[in-house]
Structure 1
Amino acid sequence: MGIEMKKVTLLATALAMVAGSAFAADMPVKAKKAPPVVAFDPWDVAFGGAIMSDYVFRGITQSNHKPSVSAYFEPRYNVTKDLQLYVGVAGESISFPNRAAAEIDIYGGIRPTFGAFAFDIGVWGYLYPGGTCYFGGTGIDNAGVDQGPGCAEKALLNTNVIKKDLSFFEVYGKGTYTVNDNWSFGFTEYYTPSYLNSGAWGNYASVVGKYIAPSTVFGPSGVGMYVSGEFGRQWLGTSDSFYGTVAFPNGIKYADYNTWNIGIGFTYKVATLDLRYSDTNLSKGDCNAFTSDFAARGNITASSGTDLTAINPSGVGSNWCGATGIAKLSFDLTAMSNLK
């Protein structure tokens, strides 16, 4: 009987184990919670501002070599991670011959990316509100065109002339090839049918390069550094008769010129300090004819032809196109990365 009882006990235990396993297999298993899916937000906004010792545009000061402030606001829409649409508005303080209050920029375009290649194609409008016409005399130019009583009322002391409205637009294309985390190279191309509303077409093209130092240069401080430079050429057409001379009453062919800049920058979070050298190969005489610089002065040796050129018969010379150093402190933010 003892042996039989042991057999029965063993059989009952085995049945219980099988039944327990089957019951456990039928019990629902608690699934692991899947990580939340991050929704793709196509909208973003970039904005920022800067203060600079000199506002230089394509090698030519826009602020009479005085300090300038700027700000911008740029909403963006990311169609995909490789295709962005954008519009923007920006403003800079300036010192123009027509006493315009400021430069207001309105722009928009598209930024497609293909691997290491990034492109930017769009339209840029430059507005200069608050301008005054300076012509003087009878207000009739050398081609016999009456510029109106508003232009005849005022004249610059150095005999330069300037229109009330200098607003214009450009179409542009830019491309950047990123070699690695440290090196990138690019190009720019801008075209306008009337540069500064002068009647002269303008075409600007340049090549750019940038080197970003490894993040270990300044250790864990968070400070970054880069070196960048640009070499460009500005081609210009013939102005309308407003800027004509006795020799060229229907307008002057502005001088084409080269411009270049090189600088070093330091970054910390959203701040950038950029220190840059800029220059052109424009003579003082041709610079004066192009800019109508209100601060330009006659050269005491003008009779020897120092600042006299075919398009600048007055002998007045401008330093707006010469070598200059620029210090710029800027702050750039995007809502997605900086405000969340």
Structure 2
Amino acid sequence: MKKVTLLATALAMVTGSAFAADMPLKAMKAPPAPAFDPWDVAFGGAIMNDYIFRGVTQSNHKPSVAAYFEPRYNINKDLQLYVGVSAESISFANRAAAEVDIYGGIRPTFGAFAFDIGVWGYLYPGGSCADNVLTGGIPGGNVCGVSTTTIFLADGNVMKKDVSFFEVYGKVNYTINDSFTVGATEYYSPNFLNSGAWGNYASLTAKYTAPSTVFGASGVGMYVSGEFGRQWFGTSDAFYGTGAGTVFANGIPYKDYNTWNIGIGFTYKVFTLDLRYSDTDLNKGDCNAFTSAFNATGTTSVTPINPGGAGSNWCGAAGVAKLSFDLTAMSNLK
């Protein structure tokens, strides 16, 4: 009888201990994880003293403003879909004053590798030719809807009314550590600037981000970044062979060129101030043949594709100061 009593007491103690062990575990149970919200929106704007695109000014070395809006859908933490629209003020030879970009793609991430693959459309509304003033021509051309005469700008250049085009692209960034990132880009268009010439651009990039302790508790960040790229071209259609004081019956074989830039940036909250040097190895004559610049001057910049000799500074060295802001709904508006 005493053994039965001791056994019952022991069982009660074990059972009671088990219940006691369960109670705090139930009390400390973690709350359910918040639901994953896959949607996000990025948007921002910028003002700059010069809008440079692959080493060539798009704003005649004058100030430009820009803005963008980009909805995003995160399938998971490593895969994002996105579409976007952006706009920049420009100054083109056909008198187009704005560039409107429509783009979309996918951004997969694999460990330290971040990819970006998509399609980018460049639209240039409002184009005309020499302010619709007829200043000379060769019969048989077609500019701005005029089917019997090619319209020349004052410097002998020509440019189509519509120079809109698209590119397919791929980019990859590799994060070495918290400070260093390197990358590569590739862009291809079958009809660059609607010139009839294909275009291919490839570049290598690098970025160093300073530790957050450099400026103490001020919240200011700093980075240094650079890019080296090469732009290849095919031959334009015959339209562009009617300018520059001569006729290229088969179009102009645009000159390939190298471009590079290096700069330093400072960040504070959603703001970035980027100070950058940009340049190319295009001479003034080949630059004129490629850009159809409306303010080309002189007669000494003679090249095989620019026999008229007018020269343009649109492809030369330039310093760019850009102040921008960038926000996302998930990070900045909650």
Do they fold alike, i.e. is TM over 0.5? Answer: yes
2:212 aligns with one of 192, 211, 215: 215
Distance in structure 1 (CA, Å) of the matches to 2:154 and 2:223: 44
Q: How far apart are 1:314 and its partner, in Å? A: 1.5
> Matched residue of 2:161: which SS?
coil
Q: Is this contact kept in 2: 1:263–1:275, CA < 8 A?
A: yes
Q: Is this contact kept in 1: 2:107–2:114, CA < 8 A?
A: yes
Distance in structure 1 (CA, Å) of the matches to 2:36 and 2:192: 41
1:329 aligns with 2:323: yes
Distance in structure 2 (CA, Å) of the matches to 1:150 and 1:64: 29
Q: Is this contact kept in 2: 1:210–1:227, CA < 8 A?
A: yes
> Matched residue of 1:313: which SS?
coil
Corresponding position of 2:3: none
1:76 aligns with 2:91: no
Corresponding position of 1:117: 113
1:107 aligns with 2:96: no
Instruction: Report runs of 4+ in structure 1 exceeding 6 Å deviation.
Output: 17-28
1:85 aligns with 2:56: no
Give me the TM-score of the superposition, normalised by structure 1: 0.87
Q: Is this contact kept in 2: 1:213–1:226, CA < 8 A?
A: yes
Distance in structure 1 (CA, Å) of the matches to 2:218 and 2:50: 29
Deviations 1:31-61 (A, max 9, x none): 3252231211110100000000100000000
Distance in structure 1 (CA, Å) of the matches to 2:74 and 2:110: 15
Q: Is this contact kept in 2: 1:139–1:151, CA < 8 A?
A: no
Corresponding position of 1:165: 162
Q: Which amino acid in the other structure matches residue 83 of structure 2?
A: V
Q: CA RMSD in A?
A: 2.3
Distance in structure 2 (CA, Å) of the matches to 1:76 and 1:23: 55
Q: How far apart are 1:213 and its partner, in Å? A: 0.6
Q: Mark the CA change 1:339 to 1:146 in structure 2 (over 3 Å): closer, same or farther.
A: closer
Q: Is this contact kept in 2: 1:133–1:151, CA < 8 A?
A: no
Corresponding position of 1:38: 34
Corresponding position of 2:192: 195
Q: Larger radius of gyration, structure 1 or 2? A: 1
1:261 aligns with 2:261: yes
> Matched residue of 2:43: which SS?
strand
Deviations 1:112-144 (A, max 9, x none): 000000100000000000000359467546xx5
> Matched residue of 1:286: which SS?
helix
Q: Which amino acid in the other structure matches residue 334 of structure 1?
A: T
> Matched residue of 2:285: which SS?
helix
Unaligned residue ranges in structure 2 (runs of 5+): 1-5
> Matched residue of 1:290: which SS?
helix
Q: Is this contact kept in 1: 2:136–2:152, CA < 8 A?
A: no
Q: How far apart are 1:238 and its partner, in Å? A: 0.4
Unaligned residue ranges in structure 1 (runs of 5+): 1-13
Give me the TM-score of the superposition, normalised by structure 2: 0.89
Q: Which amino acid in the other structure matches residue 48 of structure 2?
A: M
> Matched residue of 1:184: which SS?
strand
> Matched residue of 1:297: which SS?
coil
Distance in structure 1 (CA, Å) of the matches to 2:238 and 2:14: 99
Corresponding position of 1:229: 226
